[in-house]
Amino acid sequence: MVKVGHVFARDIFPPYFGSDTVTLPAVLVTGAAKRIGAAMAQQFARAGWHVVIHYGTSSEEAKALAGTLPSAETFGCDLGNETAAMAMVEELAERLDDWRVLVNSASVFIPDDVTFLDPATNRRTMQINARTPVLMAQAFLRQARAGGGRRVIQVTDQKLANPNPDFFSYTMSKHALAATIPMMSMGAADTLDRIYGLAPGAILASHDQTESEAEVSHRLNPLQRKTHATEMADAALFLAQGWLASGETLFVDSGQHLLAQPRDVIYLARQEIGA
């Protein structure tokens, strides 16, 4: 079944094909067609969840992933359009009987300079990385029905504790999003709800990195090891159980946030390789 409206597109896959009723506990993962989002979607599916795979432009990848999972659907909308994002939450909240978890994983990672804030880059980055995830979380907590409380997991970044001047608007957006986690925990959630942060380090090749550069940059941490996307997926599933106090942020970065790195690891690795 496919529904196409003015703000979103949706596909439901077996075993709920042709039905608008989902009885498994449900999770929405934004940006789940590829990369870390896809790893989280797969982990929730293995644990017996119905997974809503949000995508922006990666429709084919989202459908291919959903086709490999026992119970999944895809939902496409531009998170730069907050009307579309809110419509997605409203539609899912009306239909899903046990929507327990929202994982805001999608983000944009666009370079801009610390000495000159590019207005267009900043507006898009702040909207997708900070404003839309907060609006979605608020709508989710107002509307979603779930047994045993609901969980919001906001994916931030280890740069919260280990900032550097590169990717200025991106880092600004993640700090803004992180600031809302304790505030929403205090004032927006019921006693059974939890609001969490999940802060990854360097895990996958990003921006214009080659795989060889990524192999170097991803070991620039105290453990000198590569952190894997499956570790983020495990952490998301752990937080979905709500064992930690609301407002907590969990770092998954092999200790990278404990360092003081003067530049993004993309550039540190290039310096090391070129030395």
| pLDDT score recorded for residue 23 | 82
Q: How does pLDDT run across 44-101, given as a tens digit for each residue? A: 999 999 999 999 999 999 999 999 999 999 999 999 999 999 999 999 999 999 999 9
Report the distance separating Cα 43 and Cα 181, nearest Å.
Answer: 24
Residue 208: band (very low, low, confident or very high) from pLDDT cuts 50, 70, 90:
confident
Q: What percent of the chain has pLDDT over 70?
A: 92
Is pLDDT above 80 for 9?
A: no
Query: Which domains are assigned to the chain?
Result: 2-274 (3.40.50.720)
Q: What is the mean pLDDT of residues 201-207?
A: 89
| Residues 6+ positions from 56 with CB-CB distance below 8 Å | 31, 76, 77, 78, 79, 106
- For residue 17, the tally of other CB atoms under 10 A from its CB is 10
For residue range 16-32, list pLDDT tens digits in order.
443 445 589 999 999 99
Mean pLDDT of 198-226: 92
Query: Which band of pLDDT confidence, cut at 50, 70 and 90, is reported for residue 148?
Result: confident
Query: What's the pLDDT at 22?
Result: 53
Q: What is the pLDDT of residue 14?
A: 55
pTM, two decimal places: 0.92
d(CA 150, CA 141): 7
Q: Of residues 14 and 236, which shows the higher confidence score?
A: 236
> What integer best gives the mean pLDDT of the chain?
92
* Alpha-carbon span 74 to 186, nearest angstrom: 32
Residue 5 has a pLDDT of 31
Q: For residue 90, give the nearest of 72, 70, 75, 108 by alpha carbon.
A: 75
